[in-house]
Amino acid sequence: MAQYSFGSGTLYGKSLNAGSQTPVRFGALQGATIEWAFTTKELFGSYQFPLAIGRGTAKITGKADFAQFTAKTFNDLFFGAGSVSTGATRAVVQEAQTITANSVTVAHAANFVADLGIVYAANGGVLVAVANNPVGGQYTNNASAGTYAFNNSINNSAVLVSYTWADTVYGQKISITNQLLGNAPTFSAVFEESFQGNMMTVTLNACMSSKLSLVTKLEDFTIPSFDFECFADASNNIGTISLEQ
């Protein structure tokens, strides 16, 4: 009796680089696609339809859309940047401040990284960044101190300051480096789907990702999309497909 399949299933990836690695799960998997495709070559004679068809090269591609993601998943299976470090770069969007004595010191001044702009709180008007000697609606930024300087003509103005800062305690961070051509992390993949007591398991021995997309949408969750391809392992094996029937 044939079996059925239902739902998004479960997908795991395990890095094949640098020895044994902890497997990672594609959390809240929304859907996965695994596709086997071959090229074909037709032999024609005097008639419209081919006399024979030969199968040529093959390609296995996969795609997963998942809603729960971690730095380890991105690093082990896509970027391959080495270890994931503790800490994170965080953005502060429109922190409320009032210009006092020609200056503003942001809340995370001690770990300030980069300016993202300032607007007036009253009307959203944009202040202009300059290198020095600000006038009117201009400002300068001292990144090493996490401070902003203004012209005294706009003292007591309420402003909204946006910037990034370095959190050295919480979070995980991947440093994306410019690696030599050909370098990419490889991993094995296991896809499982169960329905009515019947299980299907697809194991792919060696894979490499070609694309990672982060797409946001108003009033919706961010669902990263992860594309990958599969190839033969060191023993010239591709993988297995296991079914109950």
Task: Report the predicted TM-score, pTM, of the whole model to 2 decimal places.
Answer: 0.85
Q: In Å, what is the CA distance from 35 to each residue of 91, 162, 209, 227?
A: 39, 45, 14, 11
> What's the pLDDT tens digit per position in 196-216?
999 999 999 999 999 999 999
Per-domain residue ranges of the chain: 10-83+175-242, 87-171
> What's the CA gap between 85 and 67, in Å, rounded?
22
> What's the pLDDT tens digit per position in 132-183?
999 999 999 999 999 999 999 999 999 999 999 999 999 999 988 888 898 8
Contacts of 169 (CB under 8 A, 6+ apart): 86, 87
pLDDT at residue 20 in the model:
62
> What's the CA gap between 98 and 150, in Å, rounded?
11
| Structure tokens, 14 | 């395990």
| Structure tokens, 166 | 């370095």
| Predicted confidence band of residue 111 (pLDDT cuts 50, 70, 90) | very high
CATH of 10-83+175-242, one of 2.30.110, 3.40.50, 3.30.310, 1.10.10: 2.30.110
Three-state SS annotation for the chain:
CCCCCCCCCEEEEEECCCCCCCCEECEEEEEEEEEEEEEEEEECCCCCCCCEEEEEEEEEEEEEEEEECCHHHHHHHHHCCCCCEEEEEEEEEEEEEECECCEEECCCHHHEEEEEEEEECCCCCECEECCCCCCCCEEEEECCCCEEEECHHHCCCEEEEEEEEEEEEEEEECCCCCCCCCCCCEEEEEEEEEECCEEEEEEEEEEEEEEEECCCCCCCCCCCEEEEEECCCCCCCCEEEECCC
pLDDT at residue 78 in the model:
94
> What's the pLDDT tens digit per position in 33-83?
999 999 999 999 999 999 999 999 999 999 999 999 999 999 999 998 777
- Do the beta carbons of residue 11 and residue 23 sit within 8 Å? no
